[in-house]
Amino acid sequence: MSTQIIAKQSREKKKPKRLSKLERGSSINAAFEQLRELIVLGHLAPGSWIVEVDLARRLNLSRTPVRGALQWLQREGYVIEHKNGTKSRMRVAPLTQEDARELYIIVGQMEALAGVLTSSLSTEKRANLVKVLISLNEQLRKIASAAQIDPRRVFDLDTTFHYKIVEASAGPRLLTLHRSVKPQIERYWRLYASSIINDLHLTVAEHEAIIEAIKKGSAKGVERSLQNNWQKGAERIERLIVLFGERGSW
């Protein structure tokens, strides 16, 4: 083999592999999903500084998709930029009273809109949905009176209850918005869960009003009852934040 061919093959081996647009997009999406989960689960603590190289190593990815994912997370409010003169760094968004209030209002409005759409479904479809919602709420009712309560189970049931209402009639855009914002509330739930479940009986009662309004096909009733559920939820979480303090805010 000639020295020219050997040299050419050597240069080709040294060239870094270029990812296609599809591969880059897939890598960014994978990084986003993993980083969002780490934030929601509290494995990246509120207020903690973001170090790209550490995250890339942790996810076994290059820094490019991690950087793209962080920009995406910043747009959705999971991380924030902290500027100091000409330099800037990112950190995980803190859990604050103001942020909680905004998130609960946003999700409440989105679900109220979805609820109005759901109220216009046919009698048969609403009846089927009502059966599912009653089953979920009855499970919550039983948990509320149990000696030991599994916070994760409560969260899953409550999340499913609300998602079933949204899923019943929301279009792809509303579903996408709901899925992008709702996980941020889970951050608060995980941190304050032990205290939230003490008021589970109140949530069950608020759910009953939502179910009854859907059963009747009352757009105003569904809208009002869903907004009330989220408003009361916001008040409960804000009281806990005042009592136990914000996280990652300094």
Which letter, b or e, does each residue of 3-42 get, where b requires 16 or more Cβ atoms within 10 Å of its Cβ?
eeeeeeeeeeeeeeeeeeeeeeeebbeebbebbbebbbee
| The pLDDT value given to residue 22 | 43
Alpha carbon distance 65, 56 (integer Å)? 8
| The pLDDT value given to residue 3 | 53
**Matching fold, domains 19-92 and 97-244:** no
CA angle centred on 167, ends 163 and 168, rounded to 5°: 120
Q: 169 pLDDT exceeds 80?
A: yes
> Which of 15-19, 154-158, 194-198, 209-213: highest mean pLDDT?
209-213
| The pLDDT value given to residue 25 | 59
Q: What is the average per-residue pLDDT within 88-106?
A: 94
| The pLDDT value given to residue 24 | 55
| The pLDDT value given to residue 19 | 47
DSSP 8-state code for residue 199: G
Q: Are 27 and 19 in contact (CB under 8 A)?
A: yes
Q: 226 pLDDT exceeds 60?
A: yes
Q: Quickly state the pLDDT bin for 151 (edges 50, 70, 90).
A: confident
Q: 247 pLDDT exceeds 80?
A: yes
Q: Domain 19-92: which topology?
A: Arc Repressor Mutant, subunit A (1.10.10)
For 35-48, the pLDDT digits (tens) are 999 999 999 999 99
Q: What is the average per-residue pLDDT within 203-216?
A: 98
Across all residues in the chain, what is the average pLDDT? 89
Alpha carbon distance 141, 154 (integer Å)? 10
Distances (CA, A) of 2 to 6, 11, 152, 211: 6, 15, 66, 79
Alpha carbon distance 233, 104 (integer Å)? 8
DSSP 8-state code for residue 145: T
For 68-84, the pLDDT digits (tens) are 999 999 999 999 998 88
DSSP helix/strand/coil, 250? coil
| The pLDDT value given to residue 158 | 95
Classify the phi-psi angles of 244: left when phi > 0, otherwise alpha if psi is within -120 to 50, otherwise beta.
alpha
For 6-43, the pLDDT digits (tens) are 455 555 444 445 545 445 558 999 999 999 999 999 99
Alpha carbon distance 18, 20 (integer Å)? 7
Residue type, 238: E
Residues β-bridged to residue 49: 91
Task: Look up residue 169 and give its two tokens.
Answer: 């009639």
Look up tokens 């916001």; give the residue: 234
Q: Where are the domains of the chain?
A: 19-92, 97-244
CATH class of 97-244: mainly alpha
| The pLDDT value given to residue 16 | 45
